Structure 1
Amino acid sequence: MLKGLDPAVPAALVLMFVFVAVRCGGSREPDFPPPPETRTEPVTETLHGEEITDPYRWLEDQDSPETRAFIAAQNAYTDQLLGNRPGREELREGLEKLLKVDVMGVPTEHGGRYFYSRRGADQDQPVIWVREGRDGAERVLLDPAEFSEDGSKAVSLEDISRDGKLVAYSIRSGGEDEVEIRFRNVASGKDLPDVLPRRRYFGIALLEKLHAYAYTEYGPQGPRLFLRRLGEKKARKLFGDGYGPEKIIYAREGEDGRWLVIHVLEGSAGRKTEVWLHDLEGRGAPRPVTTEIEATFSGQVAGGRLYLETNWQAPNGRVMVADAARPAVEGWRELIPERENAALQGFSLAGGRIYANYLENVQSHVIGYDPSGRQVDEIAVETIGTIGGMRGRWDSDEAFYTFSSFHVPTRIYRYDLTAGKRELWFAPEVPIDPDRFAVEQVRFTSKDGTEVPMFIVHRKGWEPDGDTPTLLYGYGGFRVSVLPRFSAVGATFVDRGGVYAVANLRGGGEFGEPWHQAGMLANKQHTFDDFIAAAEWLIAQRYTNPRRLAIYGGSNGGLLVGAAMTQRPDLFQAVVCAYPLLDMLRYDKFLVGRYWVPEYGTADDPEQFKWLRAYSPYHNVREGVDYPAVLFVTGDGDTRVAPLHARKMAALMQAKSALRRPVMLRYHEDEGHAGGTPLSQQIEDATELLTFLSWQLGMP
């Protein structure tokens, strides 16, 4: 529902947007009112010899009174169409049963204390708890209610000292990427005077031996790594001069407290990572480990050794090892070789072992190796699903991990590293019967002949009939692997008789770096082709038909569904496009968009302009086309992907579409990209999404 109108917005402007109607194209009369009319103010510029006209450039000004009036009018229109639709309350009640349950985060042990998050069924935000010993008394350490009565602020642990006596934590408002960082004494429950003001930070490392902390702050010139002693107001710049705002720098302390491992990334998923080591017991500057090799690296230190996960000369990933005191490339040794049919997704250090997390045909496998590289352990998976969150200490005999699947809510297991046995630590009491669901994995052929996998979830006993409501989800970018995980939206959709499909598109990391590179830069169209081929396969195999097929994606997935609906509007009945990138000729001009240039390219480059212009959804909306019904979702709190993309695209599609199906914008004034949304609002958002899909797909 509408979340409150800014009193500064002139009422006349709101009325203008709400009550001025537009004509609907086509011969069939729609069964919904027309959207608000939005004025155009064309801005034309020439890019590499082509004239590009933007009729809604004025909507890029987020704070102007006219833009705020546009937002209010769009929210009012969405309320009008979805607010009182039949079945909405029933959907909300069902989602409340799935989501209003106790949930818990993966514990981590420091100094004999166990730290974890927990949200009660009646709470809007998770609370941070600490337990004295594995079976000892527990108490609240951090309650977000301390910082906001309305549940709009969330708290997260950023780091814990190795002795468990001090925590660094962040306070986030409305899903923003920017946070405030504070420090709390665990024994007393009191905060230290040290405070890092609301900024964009890339992690923080508590340095117990130095009574200090290291943190990376993003500034106008780029990220810089600072070191500050507890109780002191002045920080010392440790690293970062010369790196521009397109770089990401983060650091983490090694297990022995001596080494600080520094990473420099070329954007969010670039092809190159620099690694530096800083000796916290010495007086010198950070030393380079690798700065010239064009490959990705992720380093951790334990037992005096530097462990490096990399795709250097190993597209599926491998782990190298070196002496932390002499980390030059010539001293590296391969510890865990590349596996031919499995992509390395990361590694953890626990119990003196290296646990490597692999995907083999998008199925989780976790294998443990000793420091010599010999396999000594393997964690089994009982069904299609995902192992995650493997967390332990190098000198401990236990670790914790999660398991989840489409039909299995996330469970936490404690793993005895010595005995090789697991025990259930926590399982939410979600009223869902996994035996009612069937999960299958299929493969379809994309436009260029590439085989692409897809998971399909439906009720047991269901048979394809060519007319089942189907929701297709995808992402396909930034080396992100889309894995079987529990989703209240997906489970509800299937429980109501639908089919839920998740495609593992090129651009992701499911099959290593080659799969990623096959869906980035000049190859980005492959991602869209894969998604379109998934839809065509579902139709050809009689799972559904175009009038009963919806697609859903957010962030980079918002770009995906935006491209799919502009390239093949005939395939889909409905589209949910959340927090999207859509104007691909200007995306890198806003917020942190320059981080994504290694993934997409930039229109400033003549060659890259060609492929961006070819698929940019905002520049490929055609007059009078019968586009699918669309629900755009964004909000002011998104300080990562500029909300202007959804504002402009909603206005453009409302003006150009034949409007036989509705085009709506839900604009939140206090939600964003980085999470932290209160549970009550999560339920409201999911209710609205399913209400929209049920309406458009003809679900009961």
Structure 2
Amino acid sequence: MTEPAWTYPTADRDDTVEVLHGTSVPDPYRYLEDPDADRTRAFVTAQNAVSEPYLAGLEARAPFLASTTDLLTAAHAGTPWERGGRYFRLANPGELDQDQLLVGDSLDQLLTAPRVLLDPNTFSADGTTALTAARVSPDGALLAYGLSEAGSDWRTVAVRDIATGADLPDRLDWTKWVAPTWLPDSSGFLYWRYPAPGSSTRTATEPGIDTAPETDTALDADALTDAMGAGELVLHRLGTDPADDEVLWTPAERDWMVDPWVSPDGTLLVLTASPGTDSRSTVEVRRISADGGLGPVMTVVGELTDAQTVVHAETGPDGAVLYLRTERDAPRGRLVAVDPDAPEAPWREIVPQHATDVLVDADPAADTFVLVWSRDAAHHLEIRDREGSLRSALELPGDQGPVSVTAVNTRAAGTEVFLGVTSFTREGTAHRLDLTTGQVRELPAPAGRRAPELPATRSERVSAPSADGTPVPMTLLARADLPAGPRPTLLYGYGGFDVPILPSFSALFASWVAAGGVLAVANLRGGGEFGAAWHEAGMGVHKQRVFDDVIGCAEHLIATGVTTAGQLAVHGRSNGGLLVGAAMTQRPELFAAALPTVGVLDMLRFHRFTIGWAWTSEYGDPDDPALFPALLAYSPLHRLIPGTAYPPTLINTGDHDDRVVPAHSLKFGAELQRCQAGPGPVLLRVDTRAGHGMGKPARARAAEYADQLSFAAEHTGLVPDTAS
């Protein structure tokens, strides 16, 4: 056997052992949890010194880098929205690291001669400052926007005058999660804030942002790793000191968070609250007086039983009415009307639960609701009146297979609806629906460099049996001009947090298929594709079912001749990174390559960092002795066994990831390198000035995807091919 062309850096191991519920758990790499420690910095530098030349030398990297760069730096634009007669959209003429926010005084002006309202590319030389929130006031006069630095979830909120492009003095620091929610009179907005982490301090009353927020000095180890305290919902009145912002809602327990919503007529404030990432929620309503004052709370749904999403609310001559998309007595969702003055009265059903389809969303426009339904993990639309009667069913544009809706932008009294649509084979397109005529037209693409033409593809829906016999659906995608038969295959999944994995364009997916590989996208339990029961079947103590599902999918792909074990790569991000870590440690022989990206890989300590405690509603609490055994049983870090042949593995993380902290990947990579007895490499690729993925510059994403694709190609035998 020839010696490998790489040598792993020496990783210090210490004698740290923690006794958890009577079980001794070694943790020899705990020092890597401190991203600012000298040993951690040295470890990261040494790992990149191994992975960078290896990846750069792969034969497929150059063509994959060309493909992903071409796709990610082409001109593109998001779905428009309207406020106060002005029209807005995010767009990029190509080549820019970050999308610009554009504005026009009419839709035609937005599409043909827009004005750049905000350009994040001017805020940092390296393109890592990202626009992560943009909310326009109801009168269309002001923009509340959030900027994040180097991929962090932390954001600084500022306010811009849309007519002049000048920033107001208002500046709000240490905010996350909730985008600014304007009051109906545009005098202020609600937002979610936290205390400054650790000892870092920042001035809350600095002038408006003229350059990038100086977040680098604040984003030290405390900001990036420490478990966060409880946040609070506050109201900021323009021109006032943020220190005086009125606290509207404080959680009784740390893990509760709230999503605010203001009715279009400005009479009601609706607060939807959940513990952590739990889909189940409570709903509270407060009246808003003519002078912007808030009345007492009226509890509409006070028990944590089912998922509720506010759809619309208004106050008329007969009183107030609140429309909810609810899973109460309807695990696939239904639309109901509730009297907030009499919440215990029977709810009036507007649209009942469907026999098979999932009600994803409902948006008010004119006197109708635009309903988004999911059928077998793809979307279709209906227009229904306020009593639930069907007016029309809309065919969504899709040239090669199923599609999903990425945005429905409406105004409650308006007759135009803007739709964002995407598929596996086509990047997102924007469409305008005229409710008065029923006409749907695709809006023109922005000026700039066009993306390369991709080869025609064929798609197929199949099902794989899981360990308990449950059928697990998958979408298979391949080039139409290539014959069937065993081919290098990339299996992708997520399986958690009620998140549906739907048809969606990805430069990584498109480049793999264009190169001649097969893409398999699995709809695993734990996800939101098929309603509450599908999610609940893969959460908490049932999480192992999700890993059984992806293993069943892998076995099915091999058994049916789509691929072979020597041609199958598995990939996932975040919770999907956990999926990859669990699958490759439980069944290493199934995979020729593994690509865990920003993964949750230490299931015994995930809750001790930043927002990780919010995930206990999904995974279970490691501090609970009843749940600890299940978490220990599948925790990827703790399942690694020395002397085992694991598949070639490329672990990706970012040094500024303050959602899934990089310690997960660093500790897993160090131990996997120690345990690896197989011939394939175990590489750690650590991006600097990058986080969980949000706001990553286009060329940095292209490089990450090229490294992952070329690594997968190297170990599955894919030689990038060009369609004729």
Change (3 A) 1:209 1:459: same
2:468 is matched with which residue? 448
For 1:505, what is the secondary structure of its paired residue? coil
Which whole-Å CA distance do the structure 1 matches of 2:507 and 2:250 have between them?
45
Q: Deviations over 1:360-398 (max 9, x none)?
A: 111211112111111112221344121220111011110
Which whole-Å CA distance do the structure 1 matches of 2:516 and 2:165 have between them?
49
**Residue among 362, 378, 389 paired with 2:407:** 389
Cα offset, 1:84, TM superposition: 2.7
1:294 is matched with which residue? 305
Cα offset, 1:173, TM superposition: 0.9
**Residue among 409, 433, 453 paired with 1:432:** 453
1:638 is matched with which residue? 657
Which whole-Å CA distance do the structure 1 matches of 2:414 and 2:85 have between them?
10
Unaligned runs of 5+ in 2: 196-227, 316-320, 720-724
* Matched-pair contact (CA < 8 Å) for 1:367–1:377: yes
Choose 272-281 or 534-543, whichever is displaced more: 272-281
**Residue among 69, 89, 92 paired with 1:119:** 92
Give the 5 Å matches for 1:80-95.
80-95=53-68
* Matched-pair contact (CA < 8 Å) for 1:583–1:616: yes
* Residue type at the aligned position of 2:325: E
Cα offset, 1:240, TM superposition: 2.5
2:519 is matched with which residue? 500
1:398 is matched with which residue? 416
Change (3 A) 1:483 1:431: same
Q: Deviations over 1:290-341 (max 9, x none)?
A: 12251111114344331111111111011111245x2523153111111110
1:20 is matched with which residue? none
1:181 is matched with which residue? 157
* Matched-pair contact (CA < 8 Å) for 2:184–2:264: no
Cα offset, 1:242, TM superposition: 4.5
* Residue type at the aligned position of 1:412: A
Q: Calculate the aligned-residue CA RMSD, in Å.
A: 1.7
Task: Confirm or deny that 1:37 pairs with 2:10.
Answer: yes
* Matched-pair contact (CA < 8 Å) for 2:97–2:121: no
* Residue type at the aligned position of 1:237: E
* Matched-pair contact (CA < 8 Å) for 1:556–1:580: yes
2:199 is matched with which residue? none
Q: Deviations over 1:416-441 (max 9, x none)?
A: 1111111111447322246x200111
Q: Deviations over 1:231-289 (max 9, x none)?
A: 01143434333522211122122111222211211111343334333424455233322
2:387 is matched with which residue? 372
1:530 is matched with which residue? 549
1:655 is matched with which residue? 674
Which whole-Å CA distance do the structure 2 matches of 1:380 and 1:242 have between them?
43
Which whole-Å CA distance do the structure 2 matches of 1:264 and 1:272 have between them?
5
**Residue among 455, 471, 476 paired with 2:490:** 471
1:170 is matched with which residue? 146
Task: Confirm or deny that 1:349 pairs with 2:364.
Answer: yes
Change (3 A) 1:277 1:211: same
Which whole-Å CA distance do the structure 1 matches of 2:717 and 2:515 have between them?
11
**Residue among 260, 264, 281 paired with 1:272:** 281
Task: Confirm or deny that 1:246 pairs with 2:250.
Answer: no
Task: Confirm or deny that 1:102 pairs with 2:75.
Answer: yes
Which whole-Å CA distance do the structure 2 matches of 1:49 and 1:362 have between them?
43
Task: Confirm or deny that 1:192 pairs with 2:168.
Answer: yes
* Residue type at the aligned position of 2:463: R
Task: Confirm or deny that 1:284 pairs with 2:257.
Answer: no
When normalised by structure 1's length, the TM-score is: 0.93
* Matched-pair contact (CA < 8 Å) for 2:405–2:420: yes
Give the 5 Å matches for 1:542-581.
542-581=561-600
2:705 is matched with which residue? 686
Change (3 A) 1:77 1:393: same
Task: Confirm or deny that 1:616 pairs with 2:631.
Answer: no
Change (3 A) 1:217 1:278: farther
Task: Confirm or deny that 1:333 pairs with 2:348.
Answer: yes
Cα offset, 1:57, TM superposition: 1.3
Cα offset, 1:525, TM superposition: 0.6
Change (3 A) 1:131 1:487: same
Q: Percent identity?
A: 37
**Residue among 105, 115, 125 paired with 1:139:** 115
**Residue among 326, 334, 337 paired with 1:321:** 337
1:222 is matched with which residue? 230
For 2:179, what is the secondary structure of its paired residue? strand
Cα offset, 1:463, TM superposition: 3.5
Which whole-Å CA distance do the structure 1 matches of 2:287 and 2:638 have between them?
47
Give the 5 Å matches for 1:481-496.
481-496=500-515
Cα offset, 1:156, TM superposition: 4.0
Cα offset, 1:585, TM superposition: 0.9
Which whole-Å CA distance do the structure 2 matches of 1:323 and 1:605 have between them?
39
Choose 644-653 or 358-367, whichever is displaced more: 358-367
**Residue among 63, 67, 91 paired with 2:40:** 67
Change (3 A) 1:455 1:562: same
* Matched-pair contact (CA < 8 Å) for 1:551–1:561: yes
1:19 is matched with which residue? none
For 1:408, what is the secondary structure of its paired residue? coil
Unaligned runs of 5+ in 1: 1-27
When normalised by structure 2's length, the TM-score is: 0.90
1:310 is matched with which residue? 326
Choose 218-227 or 595-604, whichever is displaced more: 218-227
* Matched-pair contact (CA < 8 Å) for 2:235–2:248: no
Q: Deviations over 1:493-546 (max 9, x none)?
A: 111111000000000011100000000001101100000000000000111111
Q: Deviations over 1:162-188 (max 9, x none)?
A: 111111001111111100000011111
Q: Deviations over 1:93-138 (max 9, x none)?
A: 2222222211111110111110111111121110000011121342
* Residue type at the aligned position of 1:430: A
Which whole-Å CA distance do the structure 2 matches of 1:387 and 1:300 have between them?
17
* Matched-pair contact (CA < 8 Å) for 1:104–1:118: yes
Which whole-Å CA distance do the structure 1 matches of 2:165 and 2:579 have between them?
46
* Matched-pair contact (CA < 8 Å) for 1:175–1:670: yes
* Matched-pair contact (CA < 8 Å) for 2:184–2:265: no
2:201 is matched with which residue? none
Task: Confirm or deny that 1:260 pairs with 2:269.
Answer: yes
* Matched-pair contact (CA < 8 Å) for 2:272–2:281: no
Change (3 A) 1:183 1:674: farther
1:14 is matched with which residue? none
For 2:712, what is the secondary structure of its paired residue? helix
* Residue type at the aligned position of 1:394: A
Choose 29-38 or 362-371, whichever is displaced more: 29-38
2:318 is matched with which residue? none
Which whole-Å CA distance do the structure 1 matches of 2:141 and 2:531 have between them?
39
* Matched-pair contact (CA < 8 Å) for 1:223–1:240: no
Q: Deviations over 1:35-80 (max 9, x none)?
A: 1121210211222222111121121121110110000000111012
Which whole-Å CA distance do the structure 1 matches of 2:257 and 2:693 have between them?
17
* Matched-pair contact (CA < 8 Å) for 1:350–1:391: no
**Residue among 378, 388, 391 paired with 1:363:** 378
* Matched-pair contact (CA < 8 Å) for 2:259–2:271: yes
Which whole-Å CA distance do the structure 1 matches of 2:342 and 2:108 have between them?
41
Choose 225-234 or 108-117, whichever is displaced more: 225-234
Which whole-Å CA distance do the structure 2 matches of 1:308 and 1:327 have between them?
15
For 1:624, what is the secondary structure of its paired residue? coil
For 2:107, what is the secondary structure of its paired residue? coil
Change (3 A) 1:465 1:210: closer
Which whole-Å CA distance do the structure 2 matches of 1:531 and 1:607 have between them?
26
2:219 is matched with which residue? none
